[in-house]
């Protein structure tokens, strides 16, 4: 366990000091701040639209930074024989793989925390303008409404950011697994295609509904196998609750708004999504360990 922790810490520090990490975070923060200053002209839904767009920005930049980290920490270390030196120590390949994976997702968690904090501050700042609440001379009722709106929007962002991290962690596990064999040139497009396929898989699952219900049994079985192997990323998409719906605060009745949801309901879903993410990560890392165990650490295949 101590050896895994050492590898985790080293990988984490290596990931966050990489120039690409700081560059992507700077670009992401700049885009969020610029969007935070712009009106969206959505007739009362500016804050919702801003949160949705900013969430996509965070996911994009954090995912790219994570994939760069996966390639550098495993494939490049194999190619320049650094991994050979590491494996000469009393450490197993499983400890190396798990330690590097945990270090990478910790760096992605830090990136999401930084960009998420900027997003929440931007939401906090723009609420009065979006809801046409005057900042000066607020009476008690208006001040309480402003406070509730700020709390509602930001409390919904926290589980949304956590689900985003779970999604990045799932995709990172695939990136780590295949980085034992391929470089960033292959790794990046493969994981991006996997991300697209994982989002499209929501349209073919469940198999007994939708267009697939008329397909012959062998095709349904094949489609089921595809959805089993691909990460079902719909699991980590709860925007209809965390962004597009109103969230009932502790002292507000859920029935006061037509589409209001409780924080308890949202966090229960996050827990289920977390279990799903852990299961897929174990599957992907097991496949990665299988690839890693037969990998020549001398710097080239064969």
Q: Is the peptide bond before 206 cis (omega within 30 degrees of 0)?
A: yes
Could you tell me the pTM of the whole model? 0.87
Q: With the CA atoms of 154, 159, 161 and 166 taken in that order, what torsion angle do they form, in degrees rounded to the nearest 10? A: 180
User: How many other CB atoms are found less than 10 A from the CB of residue 55?
Assistant: 22
The pLDDT tens digits for 114-124 are 999 999 999 99
pLDDT at position 253 is: 44
Give the Cα separation of 19 and 91 in Å (integer): 29
Contact 183/266 with Cβ under 8 angstroms?
no
Mean pLDDT, rounded, for 19-24: 94
pLDDT at position 283 is: 92
Kindly report the backbone phi and psi dihedral angles of residue 261, in degrees, each rounded to the nearest multiple of 5, phi listed first: -125, 155
pLDDT at position 108 is: 97
User: How many other CB atoms are found less than 10 A from the CB of residue 87?
Assistant: 14
Three-state DSSP class for residue 118: helix
Kindly report the backbone phi and psi dihedral angles of residue 248, in degrees, each rounded to the nearest multiple of 5, phi listed first: -75, 125
Q: List the one residue out of 78, 79, 75 whose CA is nearest residue 104.
A: 75
Given a cut of 70, whether residue 294 has pLDDT beyond it is: yes
pLDDT band at 113 (very low <50, low <70, confident <90, very high): very high
The residue among 213 and 181 whose pLDDT is bigger is 181
Using CB atoms within 10 Å of the CB of residue 151, give its burial: 0 to 12 exposed, 13 to 18 middle, 19+ buried. middle
Run of H or E residues at 74: none
The pLDDT tens digits for 55-88 are 999 999 999 999 899 877 788 888 888 887 777 7
Given a cut of 50, whether residue 302 has pLDDT beyond it is: no
Domain regions of the chain by residue span: 2-293
The pLDDT tens digits for 197-251 are 888 776 665 554 555 556 566 655 666 666 667 788 888 989 988 998 888 876 5
Contact 21/107 with Cβ under 8 angstroms?
yes
pLDDT band at 111 (very low <50, low <70, confident <90, very high): very high
Contact 57/165 with Cβ under 8 angstroms?
no
Most confident among 50-54, 129-133, 254-258 (mean pLDDT)? 50-54
Mean pLDDT, rounded, for 278-298: 88
Extended strands (E) in 197-252: 247-248
């Amino acid at each position: 366990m101590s050896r895994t922790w050492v590898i985790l810490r080293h990988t984490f520090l290596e990931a966050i000091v990489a120039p690409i990490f700081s560059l992507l975070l700077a670009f992401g923060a700049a885009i969020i701040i610029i969007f935070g200053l712009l009106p969206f002209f959505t007739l009362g839904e500016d804050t919702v639209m801003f949160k949705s767009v900013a969430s996509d920005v965070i996911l994009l930049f954090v995912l790219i930074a994570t994939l760069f980290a996966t390639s550098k920490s495993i494939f490049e270390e194999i190619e320049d024989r650094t991994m050979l030196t590491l494996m000469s120590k009393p450490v197993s390949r499983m400890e190396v793989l798990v330690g590097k994976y945990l270090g990478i997702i910790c760096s992605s968690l830090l990136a999401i925390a930084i960009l998420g904090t900027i997003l929440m501050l931007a939401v906090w700042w723009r609420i009065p303008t979006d809801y046409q609440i005057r900042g000066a001379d607020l009476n008690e009722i208006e001040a309480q409404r402003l406070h509730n709106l700020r709390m509602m929007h930001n409390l919904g962002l926290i589980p949304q950011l956590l689900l985003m991290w779970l999604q990045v962690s799932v995709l990172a596990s695939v990136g780590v697994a295949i980085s034992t064999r391929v470089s960033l040139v292959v790794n990046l497009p493969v994981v991006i295609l996997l991300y697209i396929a994982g989002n499209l898989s929501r349209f073919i699952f469940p198999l007994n509904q939708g267009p697939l219900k008329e397909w012959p049994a062998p095709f349904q079985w094949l489609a089921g196998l595809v959805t089993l192997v691909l990460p079902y990323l719909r699991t980590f998409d709860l925007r209809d609750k965390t962004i597009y719906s109103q969230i009932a605060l502790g002292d507000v009745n859920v029935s006061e708004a037509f589409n209001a949801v409780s924080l308890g309901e949202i966090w229960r879903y996050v827990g289920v999504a977390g279990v799903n993410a852990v299961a897929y990560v174990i599957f992907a890392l097991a496949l990665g360990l299988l690839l890693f165990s037969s990998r020549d650490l001398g710097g080239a295949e064969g």
